[in-house]
């Protein structure tokens, strides 16, 4: 519950920031217009987010991958949720994400690198993490927060070019400072929400797969390999980085302050503290690497 309360407070802060920018731009009228724009953007994103993101990353239906489909179906049954559509992304970087406006209309996308380089238990743990995001409606939350952050940046840029309220109590210097700092604050709030949801998805994903250490092992492997293998599509679309289980961006050296994910070491430490992890022996050998063709088709 603490995670949900934190998310609610952060989203309230993002909404207040959005209202503030609208007020600085045009007073009460600006607040109304800002909400109208945000509502239209959120409606469009809510309706089209899954198709947009999947198309952006070149994801294709996992046709012929009966083992992968069966794994997702079994885990969805354990999570007591509808079976999402399954997609594969043609990149060597091991990673995965979930998208969709609701559990009834959702998709899980895994990369070719994930299926080839991780063991079956680790892949199942990654899929369980993504199912947790879907079950928790995180895919909808992150779509809304990303849209709010984009709308705040749009309004701030508009105000910088065309000017805000001349009678603002903050004065012209305060208005200019607000217009510069508001997009930065919105980005930081968006990142905070994303990080909070990752911890919760780790916890619930570990419950779904039944082995927190498999997820911890998968996070270790993905973090190591994602730091050495480029995901060119993700680098061209950094706004989707928060959706992946591990930040896919590294080629341009993004600062940790703006990271969309919490520290992998902290996530692993939290997983090892879960009660289920205490009864599972810790692996002493690294996961076996898959052949390039893999068992998944």
How far, in Å, are 1, 66, 77 from residue 70 at the CA level? 32, 6, 10
pLDDT at 296: 43
Name the percent of the chain lying above pLDDT 70: 61
pLDDT single digits (tens) 49-59 = 678 788 889 99
Say if residue 285's pLDDT is above 70.
no
How far, in Å, are 13, 119, 124, 208, 216 from residue 283 at the CA level? 42, 13, 17, 20, 11
Distance CA 277, CA 286 (A): 18
- Farthest-apart Cα atoms in the chain, separation: 67
What does the mean pLDDT of the chain come to?
78
47 vs 232 pLDDT, higher one: 232
Does residue 129 have a known ligand-binding role?
A: yes
Does residue 232 have a known ligand-binding role?
A: no
Does residue 57 have a known ligand-binding role?
A: no
Q: Which of 122, 130, 200, 221 is catalytic?
A: 130
pLDDT single digits (tens) 163-208 = 555 555 555 555 566 566 666 666 666 677 777 789 999 999 999 9
pLDDT at 94: 97
Say if residue 150's pLDDT is above 90.
no
As a 3-state breakdown, the chain gives helix, strand, coil percent values, each rounded to 5, of: 65, 5, 25
pLDDT single digits (tens) 237-253 = 777 888 899 989 875 55
Task: pLDDT band for 295, please (50, 70, 90 cuts).
Answer: very low
pLDDT at 196: 78
Exposed/middle/buried for residue 80 (C-beta within 10 Å: 0-12, 13-18, 19+): exposed
Task: Establish whether 130 is a catalytic residue.
Answer: yes
What is residue 243's three-state secondary structure? helix
Say if residue 108's pLDDT is above 70.
yes
Residue range 260-285: mean pLDDT, rounded: 75
pLDDT at 245: 94
């Amino acid at each position: 519950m603490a995670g949900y309360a934190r998310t609610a407070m952060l989203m309230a802060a993002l909404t207040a920031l959005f209202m503030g920018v609208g007020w600085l731009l045009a007073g009460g009228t600006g607040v109304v217009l800002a909400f109208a724009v945000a509502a239209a953007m959120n409606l469009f994103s809510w309706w089209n987010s899954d198709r947009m993101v999947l198309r952006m990353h070149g994801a294709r239906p996992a046709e012929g991958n009966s083992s992968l489909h069966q794994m997702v179906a079994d885990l969805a049954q354990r999570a007591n949720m509808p079976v999402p559509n399954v997609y594969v992304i043609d990149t060597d970087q091991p990673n995965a994400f979930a998208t969709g406006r609701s559990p009834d209309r959702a998709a899980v996308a895994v990369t070719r690198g994930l299926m080839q380089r991780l063991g079956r238990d680790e892949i199942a743990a990654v899929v369980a993490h993504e199912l947790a995001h879907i079950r928790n409606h995180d895919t909808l939350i992150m779509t809304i927060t990303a849209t709010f952050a984009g709308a705040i940046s749009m309004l701030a840029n508009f105000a910088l070019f065309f000017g805000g309220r001349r009678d603002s109590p903050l004065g012209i210097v305060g208005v200019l400072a607000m217009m510069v700092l508001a997009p930065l604050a919105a980005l930081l709030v968006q990142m905070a929400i994303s990080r909070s949801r990752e911890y919760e998805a780790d916890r619930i994903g570990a419950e779904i797969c039944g082995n927190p250490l498999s997820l911890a092992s998968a996070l270790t492997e993905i973090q190591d390999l994602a730091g050495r293998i480029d995901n060119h599509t993700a680098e061209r679309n950094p706004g989707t980085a928060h959706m992946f289980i591990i930040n896919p961006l590294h080629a341009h050296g993004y600062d940790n302050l703006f990271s969309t994910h919490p520290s992998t070491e902290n996530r692993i430490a939290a997983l090892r503290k879960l009660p289920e992890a205490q009864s599972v022996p810790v692996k002493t050998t690294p996961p076996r690497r898959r052949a390039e063709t893999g068992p998944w088709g």
